[in-house]
Amino acid sequence: MNNQIAGPSTPPGAGIPDAAEPALRVRDLRVGTDNLDLITDVSFTLAPGERVGLIGESGSGKSLTALALLGLLPEEVKASGSIRLSEVGFDVVGASERQMSKVRGDRMAMVFQEPMTALNPVMQVGDQVAEIMLLHRRQPDRRAARRAAVEMLAKVRLPDPEGAARAYPHQLSGGQRQRVVLAIALANDPAVLLCDEPTTALDVTVQAHMLDLILTGVAERDSALLFITHDLAVVATVCERVLVMYGGRIVESGPIDEVFTRPRHPYTRGLLDASDMDAVDGRGRLHTIPGTVPAAGRFPDGCVFRNRCAHATQQCVQVPPLEHKGARAHACWHPVEEPT
Amino acid sequence: MSQPSPPILSVRDVHRRYRRARTSLFKPPSEVPAVRGVSFDIQPGQRFGLVGESGSGKSTLIRLLAALDHPTSGSIEFEGHRISGQPERRLGFLRERLQVVFQDPMGSLDPRMRVRDIIAEPLVAARKPTPPDRIRELLTAVGLPDDAGDRYPHQFSGGQRQRISIARALSTRPSVVVADEPVSALDVSVRAQILNLLADLADEYSLTLVFVSHDLSVVRHVCDTIAVMHHGELVEMGATTDVYDNPQHSYTRRLVAAVPTLRRALAGVSAAELARAVTAADPEEDEQ
């Protein structure tokens, strides 16, 4: 738009040794209410074009992280730390609604789980795609935006894009609606695309096509992708790197093929075992993680996983730091042994 | 097929058509065929998996099996007694012998009833006594503490609520339990717990299990027989290993190809390849 959105900022790329500026840099993100921490010490970066998965069970803080990135936290919930987007002169944490509305749908966009609630039911879908381009002045006028919208709908492979542009959301199937949501998200070539369980409500055959479209979309634009899901198989299909979240903390991170074959955190190990429907113990039973995810604020002090962990000791009363080793990191006093 | 024992559930050429809302004063309302000419038998002790995507008619079919709805034509027999088209007063035996576990435990548990009363309700409906011992026994069987009976559904997590649903289903000592997407709303770690519990209980109480799911990998783990539904028809049925490893119908091939698995993903199968495999399995069916 214009340059009035420059804030108190460090020059882009400051303090990063390599030349490429990350598309998104999150430092020490903390989200919570006055007396309850919901997300603690979350730090990560996304390079342009990088595909990163954020996994964990419900109540682990994945979706709240996405809302914090978009500056969409509920009133009573506050964030601290820093969230920096490339080519955006201010910090998302503490940014005004006016500043954020220029970023959302432009530099950063999101695909939600439920396409029916993400779309306006009384507006033709073509106009909804055109609207996002007009709002951010990416198209000079209504007609050009409408043309571009039909092109976007064709790119997400909606059959008969001209006709589809005139359809209302209820006239489309679940998979088609989610394609429209993706078209809106990609319309302004965002630097960062957030996807929160984008295929959970879809049938598997439709899911396969949707995942393909998301990947093609981000690859064409060199956008960074943050893909939130509870489905380990999906994340392994889509992403290169994974962040495992539990109790509002990142407990393990690293390249997918390493984390999923040689996990270091007992929670990651447990998740992998529990989702493998082919692996059973001697009595033909699936592997489980004992207990359930506690409600927010009921996680134990120290290591958040210690009340469900078979290896927990007295030491686990202390919060384990996220120890980095090469591309990988884990926060555990008694990590799962590396097989030799 | 010569089976030594007669089937526990026998479905013969069942159709169910729904009427759409009237759109014109002068034309008859159009009809939606939800189930079209389905026939199969379920043997006692079988673990029968019913797979299909949304709109395939699997939910309609299980409503028919539980006699919560009646077929437009065709017949359904339970232990040799006809249940299709029968009035509710003749279905008392079925309500005891066949129980259903629904997908959403919050929607199927009355929020204003204590867990104890929820579990006892099928017995009350059957005008049977509900000794406190029996409630305790059921709570123990599904792995809930004794004092759970005094609490309300909202005080439990999703997995525990599904345990309550299962305890309620077992209260009348049924021979058949129909589980409609019982783990779809649950987290990964809890899903494995509930699947193990269902398998244990099926063994312990010699249950016949009808397990409905959209997730082929879950059905594959739980069931010995898989039936695949598509557009209201039963397109393929057989032993789990046969159907999964050597699918005959093009739609089953599509379904098997579409499921992302960790093993395949770590072996380098990308989303593009998944999508291509889905299209290749059945190009005509592809919605684009």
Q: Give yes or no for a contact between A238 and A214, defined as CB atoms under 8 angstroms apart.
A: yes
Triad B261, B264, B266: Cα angle to 5°: 105
Query: Is the pLDDT assigned to residue A10 strictly greater than 50?
Result: no
Q: Is B189 within 8 Å of A288 when comparing Cβ atoms?
A: yes
pTM: 0.86
Using the predicted structure, report yes or no on whether residue A224 has a pLDDT greater than 70: yes
Least confidently predicted of A88-97, A164-173, A301-310, B178-187: B178-187
CA distance A293 to A210: 29
The whole-angstrom distance between B77's CA and the closest CA on chain A is 32
> Is residue B288, in this structure, part of any structural domain at all?
no
Q: How many cross-chain Cβ pairs, A to B, lie less than 8 Å apart?
A: 128
* Per-residue pLDDT, A272: 92
Backbone angles phi, psi at B82, to 5 degrees: -70, 130
Q: Record the tokens describing residue B211, joined without a space.
A: 């397990």
Is a pLDDT exceeding 60 seen at residue A132? yes
Residue A215 contacts B, CB cutoff 8 Å: yes
Q: Which of B147, B145, B143 is nearest to B196 (CA)?
A: B143
Quote the pLDDT of residue B283: 66
Q: Which distant-in-sequence residues (6+ apart) come within 8 Å of B30 by Cβ?
A: B19, B20, B23
Q: Are A204 and B52 in contact (CB under 8 A)?
A: no
B196 in contact with A at a CB cutoff of 8 Å? yes
What token pair was written down for B282?
A: 């059945």
B136 falls within a domain: no
Per CB-CB distance under 8 Å, the chain B contacts of A182 are none
Q: Would you say residue B2 has pLDDT above 60?
A: no
How far apart are alpha carbons A86 and B57 in whole angstroms? 49
Q: What residues are paired with B73 via a beta bridge?
A: B15
Domain contains B142: no
- Domain of B98, CATH number, reads 3.40.50.300
Residue B267 sits at the chain A interface (C-beta within 8 Å): no
Please indicate whether residue A135 or residue B283 has the higher confidence score (pLDDT). Answer: A135
Q: Where are the beta strands (DSSP E) in chain B?
A: 9-19, 31-42, 47-51, 73-78, 81-82, 98-101, 176-180, 208-213, 225-230, 233-239
In a domain, B149, yes or no: no
Question: Distance (Å, rounded) from C-alpha A51 to C-alpha B262?
Answer: 17
Tell me the pLDDT of chain A averaged across its residues.
89
Q: Which of A271, A257, A259, A242 is nearest to A53 (CA)?
A: A242
For chain A, say whether B263 makes contact (Cβ under 8 Å): yes
CA A182 – CA A193 distance, rounded (Å): 10
Q: Is A256 on the interface with B (CB under 8 A)?
A: yes
Give per-residue pLDDT as tens, A162-181. Answer: 999 999 999 998 899 999 99
Residue for token pair 């059905």: B219
CB contact under 8 A, B192 and A274: yes
Q: How many domains does chain B have?
A: 1
Residues from chain A that touch B189, judged by Cβ atoms under 8 A, are: 57, 270-271, 274, 288-289, 292-293
Contact B190 A292 (CB under 8 A): yes
Quote the DSSP letter at residue B233. E
- Find the closest chain A residue to B191 by CA distance: A274
Alpha helices in A120-203 (DSSP H): 125-135, 142-155, 161-165, 174-186
ipTM: 0.81
Residue B147: how many CB atoms within 10 A of its CB?
Answer: 9
**B46 lies in a domain?**
yes
Residues of A in contact with B277 (CB under 8 A): 208
Looking at the complex, report in whole angstroms how far the Cα of residue A279 sits from the nearest Cα belonging to chain B: 9
Contact B188 A207 (CB under 8 A): no
In a domain, B4, yes or no: no
- What is the spatial distance between Cα A190 and Cα B136, in angstroms, rounded to a whole number? 57
Q: Which of residues 49-78 of B touch A (CB under 8 A)?
A: 53-54
Tens of pLDDT, residues B53-85:
888 999 899 999 999 999 999 999 999 999 999
* Four-point Cα dihedral B267, B268, B270, B276, nearest 10: -70
Strands A192-196 and A224-229, bridge-based pairing: parallel
Q: Which residues pair with B41 in a beta bridge?
A: B10
Spatial distance between the Cα atoms of B227 and B30, rounded to a whole number of angstroms: 29
CA distance A179 to A163: 15
- Give the C-alpha separation, B108 to B105, whole Å: 5
pLDDT tens string A134-151: 999 999 999 999 999 999
**Cβ contact, residue pair B188, A277, below 8 Å:** no
Structure tokens at A303: 């290591």
Question: Positive or negative CA dihedral for A136, A137, A142, A146?
Answer: negative
**B166 in a structural domain:** no
Q: How far is CA B111 from CA A192, A243, B261, in A?
A: 42, 37, 37
User: Is residue A8 over pLDDT 50?
Assistant: no
Residue B150 in domain: no
Q: What is the pLDDT of residue A9?
A: 43
pLDDT at A340: 55
Least confident range from A12-21, A296-305, B166-175, B256-265: namely A12-21
Which domain does B189 fall in, by range? Answer: 9-20+30-109+174-278
Pairing mode, if any, of strands A328-330 and A323-325?
A: antiparallel
A202: closest CA of chain B, how far (Å): 9
Which residues, other chains included, contact A282 with Cβ-Cβ below 8 Å and sequence gap of 6+? none
Rounded to whole angstroms, how far apart are CA atoms B221 and A146?
49
pLDDT tens across A11-54, in order? 444 444 455 789 999 999 999 998 889 999 999 999 999 999 99
- pLDDT exceeds cutoff 70 at A220: yes
Q: By the CB < 8 Å criterion, does A301 face chain B?
A: no
The alpha carbon of residue B95 is apart from the nearest alpha carbon of chain A, in Å, by 30
Confidence of residue A3 (pLDDT cuts 50, 70, 90): very low
